[in-house]
Structure 1
Amino acid sequence: MTTQRTEPSVTAGERAMLEGWLDYHRETLALKCAGLDDDRLRTASVRPSELSLMGLVRHMAEVERIWFRKVLMADDQGPIYFSDEDRDGEFHLTEQDTWEEAHSTWQAEIAVARRNAARFALDEVGKGVHRRSGQSPSLRWIFTHMIEEYARHNGHADLLRERIDGAVGY
């Protein structure tokens, strides 16, 4: 798998800027995972944490699904990896969990996110509601939140990758 990252435009309009930064952060997470086998992608940070690169990718598949399906479209497909019994299921990996499955699920959720977002103007509010506020956020808010979500977890990914093989940067 070849992974590249596109620098966001410094002069784009607002929507293109938000989409560009979100894609940049999606690509950054993919870069942090590039070239590692399943065992290394399942490697947890430090005990007692179960945080791993594969777990982060599975988490971001869930996050993409929640915000761009459930909140934006009011299309609750249910969770992919977690459940009411295991709220952090995306991070609870077994030997049967593979990068191929996690990556393809994540990419499928990103594709749906892009299609759903394309149907809305930035100021348009979603059809679903934010579970904490009970409000329907605008697409602009969702884009901004997703950039924040990826940026935070890409910081985790930086530390995980450095622990795994010493790779830093990008």
Structure 2
Amino acid sequence: MLCPCGSKQSYVNCCAQYIEKFIENNNRLPELPEQLMRSRFTAYALNNAHYIFATYAKASQSQQSIDDIQEWSSQCKWLELIIHNTSSRESDESEYQFVEFSAIFIHDNSICEMREHSRFKREKNSHNEMVWRYLDGNILKNEAVKHISRNETCPCQNYFNKQSRKAKKYKHCCAR
């Protein structure tokens, strides 16, 4: 399976090393904010609210709950992540870095786009190591781009029936 983050790598070789092995690897997080953004999008696509919550900066966690994250994540079908711009550089020792991205998703029978300029903060984890966490973001766009009719081909890109290889209609795929 390709990673939902759009890296064109397999999930196992991409975001799984952070999401699935988060506890096994003593809370290992990505080394760059862009990688963290990609893993957070993938966690939304996989409905992993615990990982999303754990990757918020400590100052932001009090404004979130795992239940709220889970509810929002499950209401959407996450289609695509587009990275527009990033200030991430491995050699950069600054406290803050930024990633501008668009998340494309299905919500309430519409294809939606949320574009955000996200701020990431470097802070110490439980092992006293410096790691990147999502602090906050400035939402630049959050709107329905296109309404999906029930008889249209499903936009999820996972709509091929293995027996017939015909594209599924939206009503037989993500509208369920």
- Indicate the TM-score class for this superposition, using the shorter chain for normalisation: under 0.3
Greater gyration radius: 2
Normalized per residue, which structure has more strand? 2
Of structures 1 and 2, the one with the larger relative CO (CA 8 A, separation 6+) is 1
Normalized per residue, which structure has more helix? 1
- The TM-score normalised by the length of structure 2 is 0.24
- The TM-score normalised by the length of structure 1 is 0.25
